[in-house]
Amino acid sequence: MNRHFWIIALIAFINSLSFTILIPIIYLYGKEFGLSDFQTSLLFSTYSIAQFFATPIIGKLSDRFGRKPLLIVSLTGTVIANLIAGNATTAFFLFLARFMDGITGGNMSVAQAIISDITSTKNRAQGFGIYGAAMGLGFVLGPATSLLAQQISLGTAFLVSAGIALIALLMTTFFLPETLKNKAVKSSNIFDLGLGNLITGLTIPGVGILVIINFFTGTTFTMFTYAFQPYFIRVLNQTSQSLTLMFLLFGVLAVIMQTWGVSILNRKFNVVYILFLGLFFRSLSFVLMPIWPTITYFVIVSILFSVFNSLVQPMITTLISLNAEPQEQGTAMGLNASYLSISNGIGPVIAGMIVKQSNPVTYGYPLYLAGMLTFLVLFLAINKRRQYMPQVNLN
């Protein structure tokens, strides 16, 4: 891995840190503004739906104009949006900030395209594993930083997030070189800038089916992400501080698995079979989580979940990258991130509609549903594997 790879990995870590500071507090922050459980699910969805429409455009533009300028625009939007959210006085400004962050938040797809630009086919899985580990390290320090910021106020966490995103912005501006060598052909049709790719991109051989699999994978994961927080607090009778520590545990295990675990598994198994392994244990964990509502049991199952769940996204991203042409990496990553974003908007709404605030037991229902749906995703991935396996060349 060259110097440019480690620069983007460091930027990914800082960007992840900025994002994960917010994960433990968005539900609680929404409650401070008097939002119901369903309204807080819409708060999650606003960001994701905005990303759905914006990300393919950002990915396509990065193929045309380069990775660096689009990464700068995206990070700038995050800084401004989190400043607005941290100083919000009404729920309107909180929703506005989440929408603004989403509409400019295509930095993950651009960063992944950079990884594709600078890694060889043989090292692609390892590259995305290290990239995932860098983000996982952000998941370790993000909740810890959030815990400190919460001592002042929940809004302070947004301000800290904005400051950290500003560091990533400055690093991108002054230290990250442009990695795109051959820019895509210019088009004057805005539909061709990315919106059309939401449909036509699904027909790309070896890529479209993976995007669909990732869409359903993301939907089930965000059903869990939304239901996990009220379940942990209301059913298991835990505090917001212990909730943050759980996210810290998830981050530590993800870093270990995506550095050490992926490297070992990649020497023994094909990328596709590692994906199957991750999906199986992820679905099993979802089903097991709510069976016995005690904190010790929940932590044990959560450890099983975190270890194997950390395999899923790096493997899907690797497969998409391996099946996409070099000049279409930004487009493919933008398409994937876009459908992942809309799945992030759908999952919380489904979970929010299932749970009933008057009956805490219902907070476990989305976990059961997420588990059963993930088993169906695994079946789809196994059944359609021939569509994306022939294009993969790891030699």
The larger pLDDT score, comparing residue 75 to residue 261, is at 75
**Residue carrying structure tokens 């199986």:** 280
Q: Which domain holds residue 142?
A: 3-175+190-388
β-bridge partners, 359? 356
Decide: residue 2, CB within 10 A, 0-12 exposed, 13-18 middle, 19+ buried.
exposed
Question: Which structure tokens are listed for 336?
Answer: 């994937």
Going by pLDDT thresholds of 50, 70 and 90, the confidence category of residue 16 is: confident
Predicted TM-score (pTM) above 0.85: no
pLDDT, tens digit, for every residue of 220-233?
988 888 788 888 88
Cβ atoms of residues 138 and 19 within 8 Å: yes
Average pLDDT of the segment spanning 373-389? 90
The larger pLDDT score, comparing residue 310 to residue 124, is at 310
Average pLDDT of the segment spanning 4-25? 81
Q: Any idea which of 213-217, 292-296, 366-370, 386-390 has the lowest mean pLDDT? A: 386-390
The larger pLDDT score, comparing residue 185 to residue 162, is at 162
Question: Which structure tokens are listed for 225?
Answer: 């992400």
Q: What is the pLDDT of residue 198?
A: 67
Q: What is the pLDDT of residue 1?
A: 62
For the chain, give the longest Cα–Cα distance: 58
Going by pLDDT thresholds of 50, 70 and 90, the confidence category of residue 23 is: confident
DSSP 356: B
Residue 185 lies in a domain: no
Cβ atoms of residues 210 and 313 within 8 Å: no
CA distance 376 to 121: 30
Chain mean position to CA 216 = 13
Other C-beta atoms closer than 10 Å to the C-beta of 118 total 18
Residue 224 lies in a domain: yes
Q: How many residues does the chain have?
A: 395
CA distance 25 to 11: 23
Q: Any idea which of 95-99, 177-181, 201-205, 376-380 has the lowest mean pLDDT? A: 201-205
Q: Any idea which of 55-69, 124-138, 339-353, 381-395 has the lowest mean pLDDT? A: 381-395
CA distance 314 to 302: 19
Residue 393 lies in a domain: no
Cβ atoms of residues 195 and 56 within 8 Å: yes
Q: Residues with Cβ < 8 Å from 332, sequence gap 6 or more?
A: 59, 201, 204, 207, 320, 321, 323, 324
Going by pLDDT thresholds of 50, 70 and 90, the confidence category of residue 185 is: low
Residue 11 lies in a domain: yes
Give the three-class secondary structure for 324: coil
Residue 183 lies in a domain: no
Q: Give the best-scoring range by mean pLDDT among 142-146, 176-180, 271-275.
A: 271-275
Residue 242 lies in a domain: yes
Q: Any idea which of 43-52, 68-77, 192-201 has the lowest mean pLDDT? A: 192-201
In 3D space, the residue among 127, 85, 146, 76 whose CA is nearest the CA of residue 106 turns out to be 76
Tell me the pLDDT of the chain averaged across its residues.
82
Cβ atoms of residues 1 and 127 within 8 Å: yes
CATH of the domain at 291: 1.20.1250.20
CA distance 37 to 24: 15
Question: Which structure tokens are listed for 185?
Answer: 């052909």
Going by pLDDT thresholds of 50, 70 and 90, the confidence category of residue 197 is: low
Query: Which amino acid type is present at position 108?
Result: M
Residue 243 lies in a domain: yes
pLDDT, tens digit, for every residue of 269-290?
888 999 999 999 999 999 999 9
CA distance 106 to 48: 11
* Number of folded domains that form the chain: 1
Average pLDDT of the segment spanning 178-202? 62
Residue 180 lies in a domain: no
Q: Give phi and psi for 359, each to the nearest 5.
A: -135, 90
C-alpha distance from residue 101 to each of 17, 97, 249 (Å)? 15, 6, 26
Q: What is the pLDDT of residue 394?
A: 46
Other C-beta atoms closer than 10 Å to the C-beta of 193 total 18
Q: What is the pLDDT of residue 106?
A: 64
